[in-house]
Amino acid sequence: MTDASTCLPSSVAVALGVTVLPISESDDDALEASDDESNLRLPESVEHAELTAANHPFVTAYLEAIETDAVDAAVLVTPAVEFAAMFRNAALAAELADRPAIAIDSRTAAAGQALVVLAGAEVAAAGGDLAAVQRAIDRASRRVELVASLATLEPIRRSGPVPEEVLAASATDGRRSVFRMRAGTVELLGGARSSHEALLAIRDAYLESAKHGVDRIAVFHAGVPELAARLVELIGSVDFVTGFSVAMQVHTGRGVLGAAWIAKDPDA
């Protein structure tokens, strides 16, 4: 199980038996998911709005999902605890559940979280037990990396998941900022003077990290499919391209572009 901030295509979730819990971002129903998951868009009416309600699944939502008749045991994969409250809620639900359940912090978010979820879901689909699924997720969470470019810093500054000192250091006079997320931390990789320069920065970060290859890689974006296609060309091959979830766009704004991957372990 995971949440809707994960950039996991619904077809993949259904095929592997992944339950995706919804996120509510406002008091109304303005944030409707598009049928085209590769091009999810944040409605303009809420793009600059302050968040007005809790935007993560409550303990009761996790608990209800765990205790459905179809579930024998559950693994709940959440965003890094530094950036969202899901892990605390999921951990409490796992403790209260009437069947085996465990909550795991993916140490990442968005498409990175999707790749961690897939690592465990594939083991589960192949018949692995709870311990085997947990091991697969733990291994993936230690090696997953996400690099993204933001068109603007204002939405993420309003929502507050990234430390202000990082945001202050990334003020780039209107240029795109490029960040890396791994191990529950965010670091600035610099500014890009153009979209093309941002694409090259993401490509270079990927090549540097994935010298021994990758287990899987995904490209994600928020309303810029043409840039996503160019990034795929620069990288060479990806497992899937997905839209940045509407839930995440509230925090980051439109124009987000990035890639997430799980590098192969050279010692494995």
Residues 58 and 173 occupy one common structural domain: no
In a domain, 268, yes or no: no
Q: In what order do the strands lie in the sheet with 240-243?
A: 185-192, 176-182, 144-150, 257-263, 214-221, 240-243
Contact (Cβ atoms closer than 8 angstroms) between residue 77 and residue 2: yes
Tell me how many degrees the CA angle 76-78-240 measures, rounded to the nearest 5: 100
Task: Say which range, 19-28, 49-58, 62-71, 146-155, has the weakest mean pLDDT.
Answer: 49-58
Mean pLDDT of 85-114: 95
Task: Say which range, 54-58, 164-168, 219-223, has the weakest mean pLDDT.
Answer: 164-168
pLDDT higher than threshold 70 for residue 259: yes
Q: What is the pLDDT of residues 76-86, one digit of tens each?
A: 999 999 888 89
Residue 268 confidence (pLDDT): 62
Contact partners, residue 64, CB within 8 Å, separation at least 6: none
In a domain, 63, yes or no: yes
Residues 137 and 194 occupy one common structural domain: no
| CA distances, 151 to each of 73, 82, 126, 154, 163 (Å) | 41, 23, 40, 9, 18
Q: Give me the CATH number covering residue 184.
A: 3.30.1180.10
The pTM score is 0.82
Mean pLDDT of 249-266: 81
Q: How many domains does the chain have?
A: 2
Residues 73 and 198 occupy one common structural domain: no
Q: Which among 142, 173, 190 is the end of a domain?
A: 142
Q: Which among 142, 168, 192 is the end of a domain?
A: 142
Mean pLDDT of 153-161: 49
The model's confidence at residue 260, banded by pLDDT at 50, 70 and 90, is: very high
Residue 251 confidence (pLDDT): 61
Q: Give me the CATH number covering residue 105.
A: 3.40.50.10170
Task: Say which range, 62-66, 126-130, 171-175, has the weakest mean pLDDT.
Answer: 171-175
Mean pLDDT of 101-107: 97
d(CA 150, CA 198): 9
d(CA 110, CA 217): 13
**Residue 185 domain boundaries:** 144-263
Q: Which among 116, 142, 168 is the end of a domain?
A: 142
pLDDT higher than threshold 70 for residue 180: yes
Residue 173 confidence (pLDDT): 47
Residues 150 and 131 occupy one common structural domain: no
pLDDT higher than threshold 90 for residue 207: yes
Residue 253 confidence (pLDDT): 65
